[in-house]
Structure 1
Amino acid sequence: MINKFLYTVVALSMTVGAYAQKSDGTTKSLVKAEKEFAESLAKHGAKSAYTSFSANDALVFRPNPVNAKTFYATQEESKNVSWTPTYARVAKSGDWGFTTGPYTIDGVEKTYGQYLTVWKAKDGKWELALDLGTTHNKPLNKLETSYIEPKEYYKPKFATDKQRAAGTDIIVTTEKTLNTTLKSYGVAAFAGFLNPDARVLFPGYEPIVGKDKAMAFYNGMVKNMTLKTTKADKALGGDLAYTYGVATIDYKADLRESFNYVFIYERQADHNWNLIMQVFTPAER
């Protein structure tokens, strides 16, 4: 009986260990972790995969943000979701990164969409920190794969909690400035905050790639938008940051909706922070 128990423990640890992807600070290692996450779900089910890969404080938007492990503890072992990362980046400090790409849910009818997952490195391995997605019709366009490696490695040797908090405050202030500008100028305000290669994921639409296309999308549909930031986090290397919160959108068609959002910012050479990813998913009130 004892030997059987020990064998079971070892077998379980080997199964989980096979998917405990190590982080070496490269985008390549992050993409590998994302792919192994997808493989784990296909083999063992969503409950097991999310429980194994998620950080203890990870959030999944289903549709509102909820602790990943708490949410999946009550879910069945579904294996009908598949996805592929097509765009990924890692901060130059190697402490966190993100991937995004298409996903498919097999059911009576197939569901198509785009996901965004933010990962953080802890004790030498990648752990899921945030996960959300949007839905759209069967895609007509295929995006080119782009895995961008950090240009250099930089991580301060000694960073105090006060310094980390100050860094995060810069991102919160940036988003407050964006929100104030949105109130004054409407969605035209995004023109001053979007990077040329910015991507927007919005329900019902395939990925909107590029500042010009994003601005055309906003100007054509949205009248006003207000942001309420819940949390911000900045990479120790000081080049990438993300926020999440609730966006209230007034459409030109006289309709208002609330969305959970995740924004990813990149620091520019002039020290300003530009948006490189915006993801909106419907919020429940």
Structure 2
Amino acid sequence: MKKIFLIGAMLLFLLGAKAQKNDGTVSSLIKTENYFNEEVAKEGISEAFLKMTGKNGVVFRPNPVNIKQYYNQNPSKATNLSWQPEFAMISKDGELGFTTGLYTLNNEQPSFGHYLSIWRSNQQKKWELALDAGIAHDKPIADAKQVFLDPSDYKYPKLIGPKKMKMREDIVFSTDLLLSKALNQTGNKNFKDFYADEVRYYFPGKLPIIGKANAVNFIYGMGKQVTSYPNFVDRAFSGDLAYTNGKATIGQKKYNYIRIWQKDAQSKWNIILDMYLEAE
């Protein structure tokens, strides 16, 4: 009986390890998200987050805090959180990726929103959660189309020293900083020069706004000056995908923001997802 139990436990462990395994495809990231979701249903929110997160993972509550520290100090056995990825992408080297989609809190009165998970591959080639954030909004009328993107090609310089890597990160940070300066000097019109055509704009209380024209029109429609300043950057070794986060002000209200950046065929960095979270 004891032997059967040990074999069963080993099989569960191997299935869990396989679910988190990064094979360099976006499908491996989707499998990890789905496994993460199943772990919440089985073990509760705290145990699932502690299991899936790297030591430096960050969650916004509402300001950024270490995930492991937060859930060790605020344990929750709740299993009423579920989600469904609808948009995902990974870098050419398979080391950095993100997923986003609808989440549901299944209370007596269900509540809804969109989450953003940023993932890093560790030395064991397993996906670890690097950042978790979300906005609340009304229930969507229709299901969103699923878009899961592998890289269009896998070409990138393989031999890059620490100085070159730091320069790469500095370029992304400087691009975000350039946007910040432009917003200060000439206002919200500058977003159109930094957004990708299919940018996703996430704002508290609003369903995701997709497309540059729609996002810019929403920003103009608020009638409030946006300012922002980055304080963190991380970039894939392959140099094609990155994210920044920092502080923003819209009118008189304070926000945290997270921006996903992608380098296009002309080596220009564009924002493909821009999320705002109410700050303390």
Normalized against structure 2, the TM-score is what?
0.93
Number of residue pairs the alignment of both structures matches: 276
Q: Is the 8 A contact 1:194 1:275 kept in 2?
A: yes
In structure 2, stretches of 5+ residues that fail to align are none
Aligned-partner Cα distance in 2 for 1:17–1:58:
24
Where does 1:229-248 land on structure 2 (aligned, <5 Å)? 229-248=230-249
Give the aligned partner of residue 84 of structure 1.
Answer: 84
SS class of match (2:225): strand
Q: Is the 8 A contact 1:94 1:153 kept in 2?
A: no
Aligned-partner Cα distance in 1 for 2:4–2:201:
48
Q: Is the 8 A contact 1:186 1:223 kept in 2?
A: no
User: How large is the RMSD of aligned CA atoms in angstroms?
Assistant: 1.9
Aligned-partner Cα distance in 2 for 1:25–1:219:
39
Where does 1:112-191 land on structure 2 (aligned, <5 Å)? 112-122=112-122, 123-154=124-155, 156-191=157-192
Shift of 1:120: 0.6
Aligned-partner Cα distance in 1 for 2:6–2:39:
18
Give the aligned partner of residue 279 of structure 1.
Answer: 275
Cα distance per residue 1:157-202 (max 9 Å; x no partner): 3332211111100011101110111112211110111111000111
In structure 1, stretches of 5+ residues that fail to align are 251-255
Where does 1:89-104 land on structure 2 (aligned, <5 Å)? 89-104=89-104
> Sequence identity of aligned pairs in percent?
38
Give the aligned partner of residue 199 of structure 2.
Answer: 198
SS class of match (1:158): coil
Give the aligned partner of residue 15 of structure 2.
Answer: 18
Aligned-partner Cα distance in 1 for 2:234–2:6:
37
Aligned-partner Cα distance in 1 for 2:244–2:177:
11
SS class of match (2:224): strand
Give the aligned partner of residue 268 of structure 1.
Answer: 264
Shift of 1:137: 1.2
Per the alignment, do residues 92 and 107 of structure 1 end up closer, same or farther by CA in structure 2, a change over 3 Å counting? same
Could you tell me which amino acid in structure 1 is paired with residue 258 of structure 2? V
Normalized against structure 1, the TM-score is what?
0.91
SS class of match (2:177): helix
Aligned-partner Cα distance in 1 for 2:218–2:91:
28
Per the alignment, do residues 200 and 182 of structure 1 end up closer, same or farther by CA in structure 2, a change over 3 Å counting? same
Aligned-partner Cα distance in 2 for 1:224–1:96:
32
Q: Is the 8 A contact 1:90 1:148 kept in 2?
A: yes
SS class of match (1:19): helix
